[in-house]
């Protein structure tokens, strides 16, 4: 019994030592963050931010809409702020890998996230363990752009309209397949919603990003794709993909000749993608304000608006507070749809 009491005492002492070590480590981290935040705030007050290159993390592979928009903004911000803004692609886990990287980055204003609907508002209803909280762990700066998805098909498919597609799918149940840039993405949900509203059966093929999905649709390995117009433009212009419809309730300002899915008899079909810039949550408000001012100024420029339009994106800005409220409303909207459709992460 004496040895048991000694052993128990030793275990308690060891546990206490570990707890004290953890507490000390937390104190050091918190103190370090406070010092860092103060330094950044003082630098920004003196007009000294940014004093070194800034990275914008795009949590998807190169070539997709997120990557393209990030690079357009990075180039303009670099010109106006006199520092390099470098886009870093950190793809993986349906956009969660790059988002988590930014969520846990130093709150010094030198690591930003180009986020979008999928990894900020859809994944939370599909993946209970994401490694970050999209509301708690980020400070929204501004929305950047929005666009309905674009329904495209391989030219070999005898389809020119939504009604053509529905007739073909009903005649060949389970024979058609549609690509997406990943399970739980806006394109995946658009496909599942279309299947339900049209009463058809199609097979979902998820890819690891927009670029590989597009590659396979262009090659004919997948037959149709609800994708971003930004990603699809090079292929639709060259005739390697055929545009059928857009997925918003209204026609896109950048593609006014393309009808909506709603016009084909599905009035409730509404799937819109959006992108926005965020920082880690503890970044000083002074940096948020500076970024917001510079990004909104850039998006108002004719050359940036023209570049967005070339990609099929409608420019969009907001206050940080509006963006934060929009993220929360989108989480609720997509959560309801995911539960109704019974969509699961694959």
Task: Kindly report, residue by residue over 250-279, the tens digit of the pLDDT.
Answer: 998 888 999 999 999 999 899 988 999 999
Q: Is 319 inside a domain boundary? A: yes
Q: How many domains does the chain have?
A: 3
Residue bearing the bigger pLDDT, 60 or 278:
278
From 281, 235, 269, select the one nearest 337 (Cα to Cα).
269
pLDDT in tens, 134-181: 999 999 999 999 989 999 999 999 999 999 999 999 999 999 999 998
Q: What are the C-alpha distances in Å from 13 to residues 1, 4, 204, 305?
A: 18, 14, 56, 64
Residues 233 and 329 in one domain: no
pLDDT (average), residues 30-42: 53
pTM: 0.78
Q: Is 332 inside a domain boundary? A: yes
When pLDDT is cut at 50, 70 and 90, the band that residue 233 belongs to is: confident
pLDDT of 163 reads: 97
Identify the domain boundary among 238, 264, 290: 264
Q: Is 20 inside a domain boundary? A: yes
When pLDDT is cut at 50, 70 and 90, the band that residue 342 belongs to is: confident
195 lies in which domain range? 150-264
**∠ Cα 67 73 76 (to 5°):** 140
Distance CA 284, CA 33 (A): 11
Token pair of 250, please?
């209204």
CATH of the domain at 242: 3.40.190.10
CATH of the domain at 114: 3.40.190.150
pLDDT in tens, 71-103: 999 999 999 999 999 999 999 888 999 999 999
When pLDDT is cut at 50, 70 and 90, the band that residue 3 belongs to is: very low
Q: Is 274 inside a domain boundary? A: no
Residues 257 and 303 in one domain: no
Q: Is 1 inside a domain boundary? A: yes
Q: Is 84 inside a domain boundary? A: yes
When pLDDT is cut at 50, 70 and 90, the band that residue 214 belongs to is: very high
Q: Is 271 inside a domain boundary? A: no
Residues 183 and 120 in one domain: no
pLDDT of 34 reads: 52
Q: Is 269 inside a domain boundary? A: no
Residues 257 and 156 in one domain: yes
């Amino acid at each position: 019994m004496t040895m048991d009491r000694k052993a128990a005492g030793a275990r308690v002492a060891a546990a206490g030592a570990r707890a004290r070590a953890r507490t000390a480590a937390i104190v050091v981290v918190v103190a370090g963050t406070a010092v860092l935040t103060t330094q950044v705030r003082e630098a920004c007050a003196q007009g000294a931010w940014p004093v070194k290159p800034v990275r914008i993390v795009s949590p998807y592979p190169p070539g997709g809409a997120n990557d393209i928009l990030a690079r357009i903004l990075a180039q303009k911000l670099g010109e106006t702020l006199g520092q390099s803004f470098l886009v870093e692609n950190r793809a993986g886990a349906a956009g969660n890998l790059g988002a988590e990287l930014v969520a846990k980055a130093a709150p010094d204003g030198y690591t930003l996230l180009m986020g979008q609907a999928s990894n900020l508002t859809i994944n939370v209803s599909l993946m209970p363990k994401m490694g970050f909280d999209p509301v708690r762990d980020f400070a929204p700066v501004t929305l950047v752009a929005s666009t309905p998805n674009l329904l495209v098909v391989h030219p070999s498919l005898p389809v020119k309209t939504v009604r053509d597609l529905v007739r073909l799918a009903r005649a060949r149940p389970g024979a058609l397949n549609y690509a997406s840039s990943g399970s739980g993405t806006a394109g995946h949900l658009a496909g599942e919603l279309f299947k339900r509203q049209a009463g058809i059966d199609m097979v979902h093929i998820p890819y690891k990003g927009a670029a590989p999905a597009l590659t396979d649709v262009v090659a004919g390995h997948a037959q149709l794709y609800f994708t971003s117009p930004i990603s699809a433009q090079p292929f639709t212009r060259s005739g390697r993909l055929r545009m059928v419809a857009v997925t918003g309730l209204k026609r896109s300002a950048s593609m006014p000749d393309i009808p909506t899915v709603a016009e084909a008899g599905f009035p409730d079909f509404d799937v819109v993608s959006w992108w926005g810039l965020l920082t880690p949550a503890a970044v000083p408000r002074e940096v948020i304000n500076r970024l917001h001012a510079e990004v909104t100024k850039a998006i108002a420029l004719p050359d940036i608006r023209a570049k967005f339009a070339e990609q099929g994106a409608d420019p969009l800005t907001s206050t940080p507070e509006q963006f934060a409220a929009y993220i929360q409303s989108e989480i609720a909207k997509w959560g309801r749809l995911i539960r109704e459709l019974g969509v699961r992460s694959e």
